[in-house]
Structure 1
Amino acid sequence: MPVVSTPYPPGTPCWVDLMAPDQQAAIDFYRDLFGWQGEKGPEEFSGYAILTLNDKPVAGIGPAMAMGDNPPPPTAWTTYLSSADAEATAARITGAGGALIVPAMEVGTAGKMLIATDPTGAVFGVWQPLDFFGAQIVNEPGAVIWNELNTSDPAAASSFYPAALGVGVAPMEGMDGYFALNVDGRTVGGLQGLANQPPGTPSHWATYFSVDDVDSTVDAAVKAGGTLLAAPFDSPVGRMASIGDPQGGPFWIIAAQGPTPS
C-alpha cells in the first residue's frame, strides 16, 4: 500500500524524523540519496522540514536543539506511533514504566506530539493527528518500509507497548527470536533483542527505507560522506544494509522481496 490517504490506527508507526546538527546538510544528503523534495520550513516551527516523494510527505528533518534542561538530541531517526489522544497516551506510558522526554505539546494545527522512552531505554515519539496524519507514501523505494524495536529486554518491551499504546506482540512465524508488532490484526513493525547488534548497542527503534538496489545506494551514500555500518547481505526478507549518514544518524536500507506490510 504505497499511498496512505487516511489516518493511521492508534499504535501504528506513522512518521519518522531526524534532528541533525546541520539541518541543511542532512536535507541535502537524504534528498540526493532517496530522491526526496523539500527545504527548510517556517521559522515558527524552527525550520522543521517535511520532505516529500512524488509530492507526498515521507519524513521530517529538523535542527537538533536543546529543549529545556535537556541537551540537543543525538542524530537519530525517531519513529512516531499514532495516538488518538496524546495526553492519555502519555499517562499510560508513565504508568507502564516509560518516561517522558518531551511532554505532549501542540504543533500548530498539525497535531500533538510527545517524545518518550520505553522501560528498556528506547526512544520513540507519539503523534496525535489533527490536520496532518503522517507519511502518505510508504513501502516503495525512497520511503519507509519497516520500523523495528531492538531492545535489551524483549519481555519488558512486550509488556510495555500493549499497555501503553495498544500494540500487540506475537512471535513472527519462521523467525526465531523475532516478534511482530500488530495493530488490529495487521503487522506494523518488528521487535527483537540485541543479540545481533554490536556490543554496547542501546535499545533503539530502527528505521528501514526501501530502495531498488542496496549496493548502489550504499555506494552513493558512502561517496556522499556516509559510513557503512553493516555491509549488504541477503536475508529471508530481502537484501539489506545499514548506513550512518555524514552526521552519524544510523538507518537501514532494504530491497524487499515478497509481500510488504500493507
Structure 2
Amino acid sequence: MPEVTRYEPGAPCWMDLASPDPGTSRRFYGELFGWTSYTLTIDTLDDYEIFTLGGPEGPSVGGMQRLADPDQPPSWTCYFTVTDVDAVARDVVAAGGQELVAPAEVAHLGRMAMFADFQGSDFAVWQPHGDELRGAQVTGEPSTMCWVELATRDVDKARRFYGEVFGWRAVERRYYRDYLYTNWKVGTLSVAGLVYMDETWPREWPGDWIPYFQVADCDAAADRATGLGATVTVPPDDIDPGRFAVVMDPTGARLGLISPRGDR
C-alpha cells in the first residue's frame, strides 16, 4: 500500500478517538477494519494508542485515548495540518471559536492544539516536526480515513469560520436527496465537507465533525458493525461519490462508512 508522505496545509491528516472503554473500542475497530494497535508513551501525556493497518508494524491510521471527562460524549476528533499552530490559535479565537487545549509540543514529533468552533464542535490541528509523524501513513484505501465532514445548523457561519481559520473555499453541491452540501477546497484539493442539519435531524444532536472510512462494501460493513454492537443512524444509501452510511460505535462515537465511486 502506498504511504502518504505529505499533507497540504488545511487538509485532514489524522483522527483520534476519545473512548470511555478502550478495550471495547479496540475490539470493535479490530473486527470491523482489521486494525491492531500499540501504545505510545510520552512523558508529558497520558498513554496514547496508535491504530495500525496490517499488523502492529503496519502503517498508522489513527489514534485513541481514554475519555478524560465522563460527562463528555465519546467522539472522533479530526486533525488538520497547519504550518503554524500558534497563528491558527489566534485565528480561531478571532473568528469566534474557543481554545480547548493550548498549543503544545508533543515530544519531538510535532506541535498540536485543540479547539471548538462557534457551535462547540471540536477539531484539532497538527504541525509536524520533520518526517516523524506527519499524520496517518495511509489513507484512501479500505479501512482508512478517506473524508471528514462537519454537520451544522448554520451553514453561512460555518463557511465564514473555517474560511477565516484555514482559508478554505466553499463550493456548494447537491449530493443527496437535494440536501445542501458544501465541499471545502484548498486550491483544487477537496479537503472536507459540510452538511446542513435540517428539521429531520434529531434535536438533541449537536453539530460535530466525523471521519469517513473507506470500505469495499458499504452494506456489508454496516451489517458487520451492527453485529459488533454498533447502531446504524443513517442506513446505506447512494450519493454521487458512492454508497455511504453513518453508524454509532458501541461506545457512542459516530463515524461514516463509504464505498467510493470515482473522484469526489
Greater displacement, 220-229 / 91-100:
220-229
The answer for the alignment partner of 1:51 in structure 2 is 51
Instruction: Report deviation, 1:173.
Output: 6.9
Amino acid corresponding to residue 138 of structure 1 in structure 2: T
Unaligned runs of 5+ residues in structure 2 are none
* CA-atom RMSD in angstroms: 2.0
Output one character per residue of 1:135-175: Cα deviation in whole Å (capped at 9) or x when no partner. 12111110011111111211111111121122222223777
Instruction: Report deviation, 1:208.
Output: 0.7
With normalisation by structure 2, the TM-score equals 0.90
Quick check: 2:5–2:134 contact (8 Å CA) kept in 1?
A: no
Out of 193, 202, 208, the position equivalent to 1:204 is: 208
Quick check: 2:53–2:60 contact (8 Å CA) kept in 1?
A: yes
Amino acid corresponding to residue 110 of structure 1 in structure 2: L
Pair 1:77–1:174, CA change in 2 (3 A): closer
The answer for the alignment partner of 1:154 in structure 2 is 155
Matches of 1:73 and 1:112 in 2, distance apart?
A: 24
Quick check: 1:207–1:251 contact (8 Å CA) kept in 2?
A: yes
Quick check: 1:98–1:116 contact (8 Å CA) kept in 2?
A: yes
The answer for the alignment partner of 1:84 in structure 2 is 83
Out of 225, 228, 245, the position equivalent to 1:241 is: 245
Matches of 1:110 and 1:226 in 2, distance apart?
A: 34
Alignment partner of 1:138 is 2:139: yes
**1:68-217 correspondence runs (5 A):** 73-130=72-129, 131-172=132-173, 177-195=180-198, 197-217=201-221
Amino acid corresponding to residue 53 of structure 1 in structure 2: L
Matches of 1:157 and 1:121 in 2, distance apart?
A: 11
Quick check: 2:42–2:107 contact (8 Å CA) kept in 1?
A: no
Quick check: 1:24–1:40 contact (8 Å CA) kept in 2?
A: no
Pair 1:81–1:73, CA change in 2 (3 A): farther
Output one character per residue of 1:12-67: Cα deviation in whole Å (capped at 9) or x when no partner. 1111110101112212211121011213332644221111124111111111114x
- Identity across aligned pairs (percent)? 35
Number of paired residues?
255
Pair 1:63–1:72, CA change in 2 (3 A): farther
Instruction: Report deviation, 1:254.
Output: 0.9
Out of 229, 232, 251, the position equivalent to 1:228 is: 232
